[in-house]
Amino acid sequence: MRLAIFASGTGSNAVCLIEAAQANQFEANVALVISDKQGAPVLEKAAALGVRAEQVLPAAFESKKAYEQAIVALLQQEQIDFILLAGYMRLIGPTLLGAYEGKIVNIHPSLLPHFPGLDAIGQALDAGVSETGVTVHYVDDGMDTGPIIAQETIPLTLQETRESLTKKVQTVEHSLYPAVVKQLVCEQSGRN
Ligand code: GRF
């Protein structure tokens, strides 16, 4: 099975998933990393791990449809079966959703449906909750709204800061995402 990762930023989750695949933690290759941001650090990190890394910049296309058609062409060229969003800061449109129905997942740093959208960690801190967490879910046309696959809870201490919570969230993400991908790869391989 061949996986693509979409990421806009630093790519710590992307690196973690690539390393898990390369360590044979699941039977799939990460064959392609796509970023919508010029020079996103994730591109260099993926390339250093031997993964094809492409930037596909929305501004270069006349419409979202044309942008997503270019992505679908790349995915087909690489015979990608499944897409993992890892800090991809863009809603998926009908072109991509139609081409990869039920085959796109995302990781989000909150216990959805709480705190969807931008800065979920800041939202949780501002709300003064005693726990937050991480969610992996299927992607639909909404903002962090698709069916939930797995969640892990993170308790907040009274002294919690953005920095300390970010660290906790990252630690949970880096173990939860590969574990969920392992499960999905097994399910998909059984189905195909
Ligand atoms: C992660 O917190 C992920 O949950 C969110 O964006 C962040 C990406 O971080 N969707 P990184 O680029 O993988 O370090």
- Distance (angstroms) between ligand 1 centre and the Cα of 11 equals 7
Does the ipTM exceed 0.95?
A: yes
Cα 142–148–151 angle (5° rounding)? 125
Summarize pLDDT for 116-127 with one digit per residue, the tens.
Answer: 999 999 999 999
Summarize pLDDT for 56-71 with one digit per residue, the tens.
Answer: 999 999 999 999 999 9
Indicate whether residue 144 lines ligand 1 (CB < 6 A).
Answer: no
* Residue 19 CA to its chain's centroid (Å): 15
Ligand 1, atom 9: closest residue by C-alpha: 87
Alpha-carbon gap, residue 114 to 5, rounded angstroms:
25
**192 has binding-site annotation:** no
Domain that holds residue 24: 2-191
Residues with a known catalytic role:
108
Ligand 1, atom 5: closest residue by C-alpha: 87
Residue 82, domain CATH: 3.40.50.170
Q: Give this prediction's pTM.
A: 0.96
What per-residue confidence (pLDDT) applies to 192?
56
Q: What average pLDDT does range 111-118 have in this prediction?
A: 97
Alpha-carbon Rg of the chain, whole angstroms?
16
Residue 115 in this model has a pLDDT that exceeds 90 = yes
What is the number of domains present in the chain?
1
Q: Which two tokens stand for residue 167?
A: 């660290």
Q: What is the DSSP secondary structure assignment for residue 68, as one 8-state letter?
A: H
What per-residue confidence (pLDDT) applies to 143?
94
- The sheet carrying 29-35 orders its strands as 52-55, 29-35, 2-6, 82-85, 104-108, 131-138, 148-155
Indicate whether residue 8 lines ligand 1 (CB < 6 A).
Answer: no
Average pLDDT across the chain, whole number: 97
Alpha-carbon gap, residue 75 to 106, rounded angstroms:
17
CB contact at 8 A, 180 and 188: no
